[in-house]
Chains A and B, each alone.
Chain A
Amino acid sequence: MKCKACRTLFPDAVYNELPEKKRPAFHAHLHECESCRRQYDELKLTLGIMDEKERPQLSETDWDQFWQKLSDKIETRKVDAKAFTSWLGKIKAIFQFEPKWAVQIAGMAGILFIGILIGRFYFGAEPTGIKTTSPAFSMNAELAGTTSAYLQRSKVVLLGLVNFDPQKDDPYVLNFPEQKKISRKLVKEAFVLKRQLRQSHQEQLCRLVSDLEVILMQIANLESDYDLPAIEMVKSGVERRGIFLKINIEEMEKNQKQQMESEKNIPKNSKNKI
């Protein structure tokens, strides 16, 4: 045995994990090689020092208190789970039992599309090109973009919940701090967005954002990051309509892209007109 091979076996040897067949060669090498022997002894001494490490010993009373605290937390979460079931009802109402959700999104896609048409109309009707930043258009296009991005981000959060598979995914590495963070942000943005939508008389969109706001607020306030039964319930509730949602939003995105392209093209055309 060479020195390198011998030293590679130090961790196994020092913890008595050395395979039977390697033992004779290992000890034979230590016997004849002073350098490795010294290294090995030094390692054992170092580990001997590490053995002196002490830990606090919790008394029976400490453990009783520990349990008291723990069981209180678990009981509290059971109450939370009940509250959760109630908000789940709301989600189900939106995703499953009422077609409202899907209809609204489909409607919204239509509205955005109309917005684009209106924009084109304004551009087309603009003879001088001076008012290319006509407030009516820019607000529609911008608002459509903002709304679309908002819905897209909401979709990501909701699908994150829906796609969690407790059978495949590790339950204890699962956590939602990020989703919660995004949800909190979206809830904050909803306020401004709703006002803008109301100002441009987009009542349907405004209601949709309100509905989303309720769900997102609940996600943002989820007490436990590891509330598995809760997640499973959301999943089953959202599953069917979630697909619908996805398709509709993707359609909307397509419209959005078309709109972006027309935005690029139109100023060129209007310049040509001049």
Chain B
Amino acid sequence: MSSEQSRLIARVRDGNLIAFRKIMELHQRDVFNLAYDMTGNRQDAEDLSQEVFIKAFYAMQHFRGDAKIGSWLYRITVNTCIDKARKKKEEIYDHSEEFNDTNSVPPKYWPVSYGDNPEKQAEKSMMQRHIQNALQKLSPGERTVFILRHYHDLPLGEIAKILDISPGTVKSQIHRAFKKLQTQLSFYRNDFGREVQK
């Protein structure tokens, strides 16, 4: 841990909010993105991120200097997401209906502009739905491992530490996740493969 970071942490322990904001700013996107990946919903992701940083502020008293603050926050985020999902299971995780309804409009908060080509736009938003749908088909464990590895670039060993499970379990979960995703997206792969090769 850098001495700058230790100084910030020491100030947070004294209740200094400015120091806490500095730490937060370094990690807010990672936390938000992970929460979004886990929930697939912007509002939920924002609420969860709030909760994560409140916990982090109070738990900073007990943050061990040898741990990485990023991994620590990831761990809080995963636990908070799983906790919330347990509490309102259907609401958070089961978006399958929403995603299966191919006529539904993509959520308005997707900020990406697809240009003026409506056909391309429809295709892209459909793909977003299929990706989310495929993720929702994974078990919470498989989904968490896959998201941390694929979208947050964490080595499998570190995922094991963050989730407090054995490396073997991480491996078998990512294997199962791969299998399910391949099945879910098989109809896509041929088109996509052709397009990539073009």
Contacts and interface: CB of A to CB of B under 8 A. Distances in A.
Interface of A: 8, 10-12, 15, 17, 42-43, 45-50, 52-58, 63, 66-67, 69-71, 73-74, 77-78, 166-167, 171-173, 175, 224, 226-229
B155 A50 contact: no
Given A45-B196, A175-B83, 15 more contacts: A17-B156, A45-B193, A46-B185, A52-B127, A52-B131, A54-B110, A55-B36, A56-B36, A63-B25, A66-B46, A67-B24, A167-B62, A171-B59, A226-B54, A229-B61
Interface of B: 15, 17, 20-21, 24-25, 28-29, 32-33, 36-37, 42, 45-46, 49-50, 53-59, 61-62, 75-76, 79-80, 83, 109-112, 127-128, 131-132, 134, 149-151, 153, 155-156, 171, 174-175, 178, 181-182, 185, 188-189, 192-193, 196
Given A63-B28, A66-B50, A166-B62, A57 B111 contact: yes
B131 to A, nearest CB: 5
A50 B150 contact: yes
Q: Lowest 7 CB-CB distances: which A-B pairs, in order? A: A171-B59, A53-B131, A11-B174, A171-B62, A46-B182, A172-B76, A56-B42
A70 B192 contact: no
B63 to A, nearest CB: 9
Contacts, number: 124
Contacts of B37: 53, 55
Contact of B178 (A43, A56, A74, A77): A43
